[in-house]
Amino acid sequence: MATTVHEPPQIDPDRLLKPRHSGNGGWRDLVPANGDLHVALEHSPPASSSAIYVVLFAITMMFAAFSSALIVRKGSSLDWQTFTLPSILYLNTLILVASSVTLEVSRRRVAAFMGGLKSHAESPARWLYITLILGLLFVAGQYAAWLQLRAQGLYLATNPSSSFFYVLTATHALHVLGGLGGLIYVIRKLGKSTLRRNALDATARYWHFMDVLWLYLLCLLWMKL
Amino acid sequence: MHDMSAHAAHHHAPPTSFIRKHVFSLDHKVIGKQYYALALVAALCGMALSWFMRIHLAWNNAAIPGLQLLSKNGAPGGVMTPEYYLQLMTMHGTIMVFFVLTTAPFAAFGNFFLPIQVGAEDMPFPRFNMMSFWVTCTGFVVLMASFFTAEGPTLGGWTQYAPLNAVGPIGGPGQGTGVVLWAASIALFCVGQLLGSLNFIPTTLDLRAKGMSLMRLPLSAWAWFITSCMGLTAFAVLMPACILVILDHVAGTSFFVASNLVMNDQLLPHSGGSTLLWQHLFWFFGHPEVYIAIVPGIGIVSHILITNMRKPMLSHRVLIYSMGALAVLSYMVYGHHMFVSGMNPFSSLAFSFPTLVITIPSTIVVLIWTFSLYGSKLRINSASLFALGFISMFVSGGVSGFFLAQPSIDIMLHATYFVVGHFHLVMGVAAMFGIFGGTYFWFPKMAGRMMNETLGKIHFWLSFVGAYCIFMPFHYLGMAGNVRRYSTFVDDFLQPLIPVHRFITIAALITGAAQLVFLYNLIHSRFWGKPAPDNPWEATSLEWSTATPPPFDNFGGKLPVVYHDPYQYGVQSSAGDYVMQASPEQVKTEHEEK
């Protein structure tokens, strides 16, 4: 075997003084082949900002699979029975949309608070709590919708339409619960003053996505069931 | 000052307890090794199952010693029943595709080397990374648990076609609990791989060292990145499909079982389910899965070949674009698995066309390899031999794909040994050769010791010749009309083919035994191998510029700065004919001299 020539890694002195992630190349960084590092941009986006899109993409694919299954299943059979959606779903929709609005208000307030604006210094978590309560109300409302269906005798296995209703709404509700977990994490971190801006942004993006996803699901269920 | 910043640079301190260090470790390198160990155990299980099947196919009435211990009902006296043959076949396919071909080249090597190759200290979400491994491992345990249920594992094949996957115990042994365990295991596997993608993609996009532009990533890093994007799309579709199957079993829904289905003289209670729905959902995952298994191999093999050719590939960019094209096209071809499913013939045409188109990026990749190899002074070692073997298997297996891509020919060859030979060569053996090549190449960095080269070469030649002896005759069998998934061949026209089956079985036993050479080499070298220097192959990428084995935070508290393209070979530098990515030394490349 040939002799080993070990090149020690070159130390970037700037990098050592900075917190994690701030000095990496990142996806916008293009260094010319002559090694002139001055043209390289210093700040790459934090990993959680692209990770949240990875999560949202996976959820999109999952619901795309469920939706196409619903369309194929409905199109290929004669046993599909339509039913009227429980009316509480529309109230739930309003609650979820409202929670998106309150979250956006709280995101801006917390961001301003983190940016040092004193006018927002009083209980920056207030709107986050309101969002949390609205989110819990939404899940409770979905549960009430399942109870309404059960009272009509529509169970998971009664008909493919009810099967898809339960599967889609339950999967969505589970993801909303995940978002509630994210909100609790943000509130706790805010309480300890260790909240990072990108954690707040990622949670907000996830929550808004849950909102949009629900609007899509409601349209799908309304049209197909 | 220096020490403080070095400490602050890493977001979790090195663990001290045994459990945190080796079991529930957050370190991507330990997780990579855990994935490798899981794949190794799974590969040995899968190989043993293939031995049992091959012995049974060649000598139907032969008792296999010890098999009755695995299942009293399935193999009374050591002779397997037809149902038990199908159960072993299903488990062989599932174990190999999911827990070996996906786990080893992507999750194992990717976890260990992707952060180092991009110049990061770790993945961005180490806890999710740890969860990714343990969820996958639980999936494997759940799958293996089905061997120990009363009826044994499922017999539906690794594709688990509907309605057999959803009718319950009436479908045969293992179609009740066995299928539920199978679907639960695969759903867990999907969660594990999605968590893997969640780490791989931000690692590549956001954690690159200063100067590491996308085009400066080594081809292996590109391959893992592209594969993680594919996995993200594919596993997110398979998981809901598995959930629907489980619901058909435990909740009485009718997603996949058609109405008025009579099985074993019983009318099934399900109504109106769509059997094709499962095929669509499964193959939307299933075909990209083939590329999830092979694209990391393409990257690993390119990485190994370049190092041993001492020159870059003819085109770095075209190789990357071709891998990207494979990834995109892999989602548009899945219907070619369903040519005989009764799909609209126009759909067949629509799927046949991209299937033929996908051969273009594959061919471009092979041509780049071939013409880059032409005239190069290749250093022959175990890693480069397996890389060449990969190309050979990829081409041999790929050529039969041209035939199968055309619906008119596929209708004749579908469900014969021709297909079995095709996919075993192109995604099975080729991907395995990628894993072996990667092992011989990276073992010094992973374990800190060199592997035995002589044993490695013996392993290569036995595996190379053996794999052809096993899988080339499969094509002949298929053209002669030998149907797959039969446990015995009793038809008159199949009788003359029995000697071919016996030849294949003997070749499989010898080739399988040759893998013990690898296993011995792996274990012996791990403990008693020659200590490895930091850069034994005189390579350029970042994994070779750190210590062997790499420290906990990969670069000893200092992030590297990248000054060069990944493969600066054939240059004159103080180090020799190469300059490392992290070396600030200015060199003139051959291209610039011209």
Q: Which residue of A has its CA nearest to B574?
A: A5
pLDDT of amino acid B4: 32
Cα–Cα dist A218/A214, whole Å: 6
Beta-bridge mates of residue B483: B416
> Does the beta carbon of B588 lie under 8 angstroms from any beta carbon of chain A?
no
Cα–Cα dist B176/B195, whole Å: 29
Domain ranges of chain B: 30-593
pLDDT of amino acid A171: 97
Do A50 and B202 lie within an 8 Å CB cutoff? yes
> Does the beta carbon of B564 lie under 8 angstroms from any beta carbon of chain A?
yes
pLDDT of amino acid A28: 37
> Does the beta carbon of B201 lie under 8 angstroms from any beta carbon of chain A?
yes
pLDDT band of residue B6 (cuts 50, 70, 90) is: very low
B contacts of A158 (beta carbons < 8 Å): none
With a cut of 50, say whether residue B116 has pLDDT above it.
yes
Give the nearest partner residue to A24 out of B198, B208, B253, using CB atoms. B208
pLDDT of amino acid A7: 52
B559-584 mean pLDDT: 90
**Beta-carbon neighbour count of residue B266 at 10 Å?**
10
Q: Compute the Cα dihedral for B387, B391, B394, B397 and give only its sign.
A: negative
Give all strands (DSSP E) within B240-356, no chain letters. 262-263, 266-267
Angle between helices B316-329 and B219-250 (to 10 degrees): 10
Compute and round to an integer the Cα radius of gyration of chain A. 24
Cα–Cα dist B394/B369, whole Å: 12
Question: Are B7 and B557 a contacting pair, CB within 8 Å?
Answer: yes
ipTM over 0.90: yes
Residue contacts between A and B (CB atoms, under 8 Å) = 225
pLDDT of amino acid B312: 92
B30-593: which CATH number, 1.20.1050.10, 3.40.50.150, 1.20.210.10, 3.30.70.20? 1.20.210.10
Per-residue pLDDT 10s for chain A (225 aa) are 444 555 544 544 444 433 333 333 333 334 444 555 544 444 556 777 889 999 999 999 999 999 999 999 998 888 899 999 999 999 999 999 999 999 999 988 888 887 776 565 567 788 999 999 999 999 999 999 999 999 999 999 999 999 999 999 999 999 999 999 999 999 998 888 888 888 899 999 999 999 999 999 999 999 988
Q: Is A169 exposed, middle or buried (0-12, 13-18, 19+ CB in 10 A)?
A: buried
Q: Is B561 helix (H, G, I), strand (E, B) or coil?
A: strand
Q: What is the pLDDT of residues A195-215, one digit of tens each?
A: 888 889 999 999 999 999 999
Q: Which residues contact A107 (CB under 8 A, 6 or more apart)?
A: A200, A201, A204
What tokens were used for B483?
């149907």
For each of the domains in chain A, give its residue range(s) and CATH number, in order of start.
9-44 (no CATH), 47-224 (1.20.120.80)
Please state the three-class secondary structure of chain A as a single string. Answer: CCCCCCCCCCCCHHHHCCCCCCCCCCCCCCCCCCCCHHHCCCCCCCHHHHHHHHHHHHHHHHHHHHHHHHHHHHHCCCCCCCCCCCCHHHHHHHHHHHHHHHHHHHHHHHHHHHCCCHHHCCCCCHHHHHHHHHHHHHHHHHHHHHHHHHHCCCCCCCCHHHHHHHHHHHHHHHHHHHHHHHHHHHHHHHHCCCCCHHHHHHHHHHHHHHHHHHHHHHHHHHHHC
A contacts of B274 (beta carbons < 8 Å): 72-73, 76-77
Q: DSSP letters along B495-515, please?
A: GGGHHHHHHHHHHHHHHHHHH
Q: Which of the residue ranges B500-509, B525-534, B577-586 would you say has the lowest mean pLDDT?
A: B577-586
**Beta-carbon neighbour count of residue B454 at 10 Å?**
9
Question: Are B539 and A6 a contacting pair, CB within 8 Å?
Answer: no
Do B208 and A25 lie within an 8 Å CB cutoff? yes
Work out the minimum CA distance from B116 to partner chain A, whole angstroms.
12
Angle between helices B359-373 and B345-357 (to 10 degrees): 20
Residue with tokens 């009293």: B72
Give the nearest partner residue to A12 out of B120, B210, B535, using CB atoms. B210
**Looking at the whole model, is its pTM more than 0.90?**
yes
pLDDT of amino acid A194: 84
